[in-house]
Amino acid sequence: MRAKTYRPGRFYWVRLNSFITLILGGFLIVAVPLSAGLIFAAVQMEHLARQSTVAVYKSVQVTQGSRILVQQLIAMERAARQFQVLDDPALYRAYMANRRKFKDILEQMLELPLSEVQRQGFDSLAREENAIYDVLSVYTLNSEASKQAANQFLGLARQARTLLAESNQLVGKEVDTLQETAREAQKSLFWQALGLIPAAGLLAVLFTFLIRRYFHQLDKAIRRLGNGDFDTPIEVTGPRDLEVLGQQLDWLRCRLVELEETKIKFLRHVSHELKTPLAALREGSELLCDQIIGHLSAQQLEVARILRSNSLRLQKLIEDMLRFNLAGTNQIERTPEVVRLDQLIKIVLNDHIPSSLSKQVELIAALNPVEIFGDREHLKIIIDNLLSNALKYSPSGSSVEIKLTQEEDEVCLEVHDSGSGVAPEDSVRIFDSFYQGKTQPSGPVKGTGLGLSIVKEIVLAHGGNIELVKESREGAHFRVTLPVVAEEWRS
């Protein structure tokens, strides 16, 4: 497959604004109901504040004005009676000055936004005061009409005090009205918040779901690439910049297909080219070791054995590399079936009997009858690599324990050797490719550093897990857990 003529990076920056516009638009739409609620609350608070200011101003003005009217009426009465007794013109002028103040205050009071009852009271006070003034300005000082008019000041003062008391009561009523208005405003704001906050939350969830749906496409495409699915084209719908990102991923998919094909072709060529000379080396070294072509001296036989062991090592290295590459890239054809894992382990144990006898290592097996759904050849590779690894590191006269159990839907395979174990600094990287720890096995054939890596790849492909168990006993203890049926093979 050839990659598309697509090149990442050749886009105009304007195209990248679409997803940003979507996010900004979402924020604005979510903010609309909250902003409307805040504006409405501000308007209500301003109205309540204005109403409170007017009410307080009117109440204070009426209360102060009523109090001043009472004081002026008392001063007018005192000046009028003194004038009647002493007939002093200065006292009459004092009466007239107090009367002018009284009239001014009364006019100011009538200009206020009074209630109908208050206005009627102040109008009545103004009429009665005018009537008293008309009498005092016409009749003589010691006349009976003047005395009666002066006595009427007491009634006016009582009436002014009554207006003052009523004004104080009206202040309390205004306060109660303001409190009721504030409670209504608070209740209204509460119900608005109760409706607007969930609405904003729903809008936020809606846009989050919308944005997440777009990113879910990218996540799904990236996971497919990570799982080695390079055959399915990647197509991302949505804003323009996300579509461009999807095109970049599809371009990457095509490039990965090219690289994978190149790598596999290279490995096939290498393995094919190495087979012929390697087979010749093995056959020649076998002939020399078997002394078929003639008798060899001890030194010559030692050299022949070195050639044979290194050719075996080279062959195993090539096979491990091919197997690891195919296991990691999912290129091996899988044929899952029901496998009696205990019987498969016995077959592998029989294959390793010659090696165990030559090293004088005892194989101890505790196998429960277990059936598992998986690939027989892959499962055999797991057992073979773990057992080979244990035999390589076990000293002569020791033992290797193999244990197989099942708990519910999981199978547990444990292999425990009697070697020197895994160094603490090596335990972190023991499953890395081509990594070999400080402890090396005895014998002519050294490890390649791929055995445990291959085991881990196959175990993960079966949906299982492998771990190095840390114990106080000597030796390396590996535990493999496999599901009876891997998730990807469930019907």
For the ranges 138-142, 279-283, 291-295, 393-397, the lowest mean pLDDT is seen at: 138-142
What confidence tier does 366 reach under pLDDT thresholds 50, 70, 90? very high
Mean pLDDT, residues 413-423 taken together: 86
Residues 113, 104: Cα–Cα separation, whole Å: 17
Q: How far is CA 339 from CA 21, 227, 259, 368, in A?
A: 57, 25, 35, 13
Write the Ramachandran bin of 194: left for phi over 0, alpha for psi from -120 to 50, otherwise beta.
alpha
Residue 483: φ, ψ to 5°: -70, 150
**128 neighbors 160 (Cβ within 8 angstroms):** no
In this predicted structure, the answer to whether residue 10 has a pLDDT above a threshold of 80 is no
Read off φ and ψ for residue 440, nearest 5 degrees.
Answer: -110, 145
Task: State residue 194's pLDDT score.
Answer: 74
- pTM reported for the whole predicted model: 0.44
Instruction: Enumerate the domain spans of the chain.
Output: 19-202, 231-332, 335-490
Tell me the torsion sign for CA atoms 429, 430, 435, 438.
positive
Under the banding of pLDDT at 50, 70 and 90, the label for residue 14 is: very low
| DSSP per-residue codes, 382-396 | HHHHHHHHHHHHSPT
Q: What is the DSSP string of 244-299?
A: HHHHHHHHHHHHHHHHHHHHHHHHHHHHHHHHHHHHHHHHHHHHHHHT-SS---HH
Query: What is the average pLDDT across 388-400?
Result: 87
Which residue has better confidence, 53 or 481?
A: 481
3-state secondary structure (DSSP) of residue 415? strand
Mean pLDDT of 144-148: 72
CB 157 within 8 A of CB 74: yes
Residue 406 to residues 67, 100, 362, 374, 481: CA-CA distances in angstroms? 100, 113, 24, 15, 9
pLDDT surpasses 50 at 401: yes
- For 63-72, how does the pLDDT look when each residue is reduced to its tens digit (9 = 90+)? 777 788 788 8
What pLDDT, on the 0 to 100 scale, is given for residue 1?
40
The mean pLDDT value of the chain amounts to 75
CB neighbourhood size of 177 (10 A): 14
CATH 3.40.50.1450 matches 335-490:
no
Q: Given CATH 1.10.3720.10, say whether it is the number of domain 19-202.
A: no
Whether 454 contacts 460, CB under 8 Å: no
Q: How many residues does this entry show for the chain?
A: 491
Give pLDDT, residue 215.
75
pLDDT at 324 over 70: no
Mean pLDDT computed over 252-269: 78
Letter for the amino acid at 259?
Answer: L
Q: How much of the chain, in percent, has pLDDT values that exceed 90?
A: 6
Rounded average pLDDT over 421-427: 78
Contact 95, 78 (CB under 8 A): no
Query: Domain 231-332: which topology?
Result: Helix Hairpins (1.10.287)
Q: For the segment 273-322, what is each residue's pLDDT rounded down to a tens digit? A: 776 677 777 777 777 777 777 787 888 777 777 777 777 767 766 766 66
